[in-house]
């Protein structure tokens, strides 16, 4: 399955919009129910606004109503960047296959690609500071007694 997904991603990569780098990347997201979504990198002159292929494909899956845990596998025409590794981790992808620089296919879990990832703490976020830590009505910069 991993080789077929990577080869499909390579075919999809030919549709990428990469006028600046000329580096075409494709991704195929295989859902647990067998549905596939594809994505390519979409560049922008303001380079940080560029969309990676993995994020494009995952975004299409999210738009269709899928959520983290619904992705069975992902195939990518290149090794995923650090930001995409975080996306893959948050979407709980169990198998990621990609074309390595030497031409071989690598297959890994998201934990193997990003072993010490950041996760949202349980409960949704940082706890509110207590009044004794400065969260009272005194306001920022006010002296506390």
Which residues are part of the catalytic machinery? 54
- Rounded to whole angstroms, the Cα distance separating 102 from 95 reads 20
DSSP annotation string for 107-142: EE-HHHHSTT---PPTTSSPPPPPGGGTTSTT-TT-
Written as six digits, the tokens of 76 are: 């990518």
């Amino acid at each position: 399955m991993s080789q077929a997904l990577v080869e499909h991603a390579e075919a999809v990569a030919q549709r990428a919009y990469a006028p600046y780098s000329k580096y075409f990347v494709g991704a195929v997201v295989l859902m647990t129910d067998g549905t596939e979504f594809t994505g390519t990198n979409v560049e922008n002159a303001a380079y940080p606004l560029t969309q990676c292929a993995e994020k494009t494909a995952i975004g299409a899956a999210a738009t269709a109503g899928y959520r983290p845990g619904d992705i069975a596998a992902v195939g990518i025409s290149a090794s995923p960047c650090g930001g995409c590794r975080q996306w893959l981790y948050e979407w709980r992808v169990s198998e990621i296959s990609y074309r390595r620089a030497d031409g071989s296919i690598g297959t890994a879990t998201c934990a193997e690609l990003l072993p010490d990832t950041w996760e949202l703490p349980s409960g949704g976020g940082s706890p509110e500071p207590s009044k004794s830590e400065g969260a009272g009505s005194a306001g920022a910069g006010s002296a506390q007694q």
